[in-house]
Amino acid sequence: MVKRDELVEYLDTFLRIAEIEDVSNNGLQVEGGEEIEKVAFAVDACHEAFRRAGEAGARMIISHHGLFWGKPLMLKGTHRERIALLLDSSLSLYAAHLPLDIHPRVGNNVQLLRLLGLSPEERRFGEYHGSLLGFMGRFGKPMDRDELVEILERALGVSMTVLPFGPREVTTVGIISGGAADMAVQAGEAGADLYLTGEPSHSAYHQIAERGLNVVYGGHYATETLGLKALAAHLSERFKLETEFLDIPTGF
């Protein structure tokens, strides 16, 4: 068991919440009970996640996409129902958006690199509000593009969309999870010959084709599950907490 405020303080520091500018209001968004024995994890803060977390006995849920995104929301309709469910369940909600994407140990992007057996290089790309979102890794021996995609599909359990405009033999991979199709050009400029992200983008297609870059879309949801799972394992080990990942895929 751990005190809520102790856990929040640790998360704020570990994830560098105050240092990373973001459209998400990261950190503790809704305050629940003071003592926590179990933490649930979900990509999206939604009614199903809150219901399942409460039924599982969790007293905190950590989500990648929280409820508050920089502007006030009236407590009515679906938003009111979500808040009411959290309060009725004494369930704290903690959000970690960009801080979880770019964390060097448990972040989504680093975890995706590790699926391919790669270590993050010092060079980065994808500037956004003062942070570099993208991570890069280099194979010691070039990998066939189709083999790389198969590894990712098996690991993430999804069918990927591939824009095969780059070399068949892949040496350098750039990664930004989620909705970052517009960062493909920056990935290519940084030296990537394959770029992995989540959601496709019509407007990015021709720039990708004309640059001669391989781009692989793994789905917004699927590419943003790994950081939560890694964070769950970290907190379980550090605080001896019970943790549970709530898999609520959207198909996107």
**Nearby residues of 252 by Cβ (< 8 Å), 6 or more positions away:** 199, 219, 220, 221
Q: Residue 129's pLDDT is what? A: 87
Cα gap 2→143, rounded to integer Å: 45
Please, which pLDDT band fits residue 84 given cuts at 50, 70 and 90? very high
Q: Residue 2's pLDDT is what? A: 97
Q: Residue 207's pLDDT is what? A: 94
CA max distance for the chain: 56
Cα gap 152→146, rounded to integer Å: 10
Taking residues 194-211, report their average pLDDT. Answer: 96
Taking residues 208-226, report their average pLDDT. Answer: 97
Taking residues 21-25, report their average pLDDT. Answer: 96
Domains annotated on the chain, with CATH: 2-96 (3.40.1390.30), 108-223 (3.40.1390.30)
Please, which pLDDT band fits residue 72 given cuts at 50, 70 and 90? confident
Instruction: Tell me: pLDDT of 247 over 90.
Output: yes
Q: Residue 71's pLDDT is what? A: 87
Average per-residue pLDDT for the chain: 97
- What would the pLDDT profile of 129-145 be if each residue is shown by its tens digit? 889 999 999 999 999 99
